[in-house]
Amino acid sequence: MPETKRLRYVEAVAETADRAAKLTSQLLSFARRQALKPQVFDAGESVLALREMMTTLLGSGVELEVNVDDCPRHVSADRSQFDTALINMAVNARDAMDGAGKLTVTVGEAVVIPAVRGHSPVDGKFVTVALTDTGSGISAEHVGRIFEPFFTSKAVGKGTGLGLSQVFGFAKQSDGEIIVNSREGEGTTFILFLPSVMDTIDEQPTSYVGEAAVLPNDLCVLVVEDNTEVGTFATQALAELSVEAVWAHDASEALEKIDAEPTRFGVIFSDVVMPGMSGIELAQALQQRHPDIPVLLASGYSNVIATSGSFGFPLLHKPYSMAELAQALRKAIGAGKVEQIS
């Protein structure tokens, strides 16, 4: 078999494996078997940290309003999954508004979770995050199924039907709930309920300033990512860390940028699976052409695939938080090729 044809087969299998890994993660979340890393953090502060990123994802046609008061709203949950849930709901709202309208995100509190999906009301103290859009609303026949895996009312190729199932699984696994109020043609409100906890923050900071402080002030990171939403997340996360980011949509574009300005980039942060040259192949090429530039890879692969397939390059597992990204960058800068980061 010709080498070029063999490589195309390998790339196709790798891309399928990457999609399967992401699918498995979302299905495990829905089934409440996803391994979470809970920590205590301020939900309001997390929402504010994501505001700029959501603004970018929503696009210029959607107005974003964020309402967070001065009262801390502490929860104990997986912060990375919390961020992912908010992004999933925001993207769902954007699509429901067809890219034009208003999304209002409000952080508050409640003393009861209303009766929903056959469950009785639950008393307690809860932090709420409500997202209200001015979109098309959800029909009565669909509203009871929107959290089911693979259910989607979007056109073919416009959605997998897994975004809201991830939100549902995260809420349930965090001893919380997600409810939806919608009328067709009048918009939709999703309300995420998470148990409120004592005002004691875990070791990981709720602000990213501490993480960013140990990164060089003049650091510029080249992000190599073909997926628009993931690339947006990465560049916005780096901006939150006060790090300059340049985005290349594939390995060929990345090599052009690096060859043009070889001293500009302090780290190359690349996805593993991309059309054409993979992230690993890019890293190997850079070893030969620019061995002084460290490379950090990112992937949704399982631990087994990542351990055997990263060829010794540092690997950050998706989904990742901004704190995890900062830690991975520190290690990559400090050690060049370092151990796998989980």
Question: How far apart, in whole angstroms, are the C-alpha atoms of residue 104 and residue 272?
Answer: 35
- DSSP 8-class letter at 244: E
How far is 82 from 319, CA to CA, in rounded Å?
11
Distance CA(284)–CA(281), nearest Å, equals 5
Q: Give the number of other CB atoms < 10 A from CB of residue 175.
A: 16
**Tens-binned pLDDT, residue by residue, of the chain (342 aa):** 565 555 555 454 444 444 444 444 444 433 434 456 788 999 999 999 889 888 888 989 999 999 999 999 999 998 888 988 898 889 889 988 998 999 999 999 999 999 887 778 899 999 999 999 999 888 766 766 676 654 454 443 334 334 688 888 888 888 899 999 988 888 999 999 999 997 655 544 444 444 444 578 789 999 999 888 788 888 878 887 888 999 999 999 999 999 999 899 999 999 988 888 988 899 999 999 999 999 999 886 544 344 444 567 888 877 777 777 888 888 888 754 434 444
Domain parsing of the chain, residue ranges: 31-195, 209-335
DSSP class of residue 258 equals H
CA separation for the pair 105, 155 (Å, rounded):
26
- In our burial notation (b when 16+ CB lie closer than 10 A, e otherwise), range 184-201 reads eeebbebbbbbbbbeeeb
Q: 3-state DSSP helix/strand/coil percent for the chain, to nearest 5?
A: 40, 25, 35
Cα 44–48–49 angle (5° rounding)? 115
Residues in contact with 45: Cβ distance below 8 Å, sequence separation at least 6, in sequence order: 68, 72, 206, 207
Picking from 251, 329, 264, 273, the residue whose alpha carbon sits closest to that of residue 292 is: 264
Structure tokens, 66: 């964020």
Which residues are CB-neighbours of 237 under 8 A, at least 6 positions away? 53, 322, 325
**Would the pTM count as exceeding 0.75?**
no
DSSP secondary-structure letter at 275? S
Map tokens 């920590």 to a residue: 39
Domain 209-335 adopts which CATH fold? Rossmann fold (3.40.50)
Task: List, in order, residues 6 or more apart from 54 with CB less than 8 Å away.
Answer: 64, 86, 87, 90, 103, 105
Strands (E), the chain: 38-42, 62-67, 74-78, 101-113, 122-133, 177-182, 188-195, 220-224, 244-248, 267-271, 295-299, 315-317
CB 295, CB 283: distance < 8 Å: yes
Q: How many helices and strands in the chain, by DSSP H and E? A: 11, 12
- In sequence order, what E strands does 165-243 have? 177-182, 188-195, 220-224
Distance CA 276, CA 2 (A): 16
CATH class for the domain made up of 31-195: alpha beta
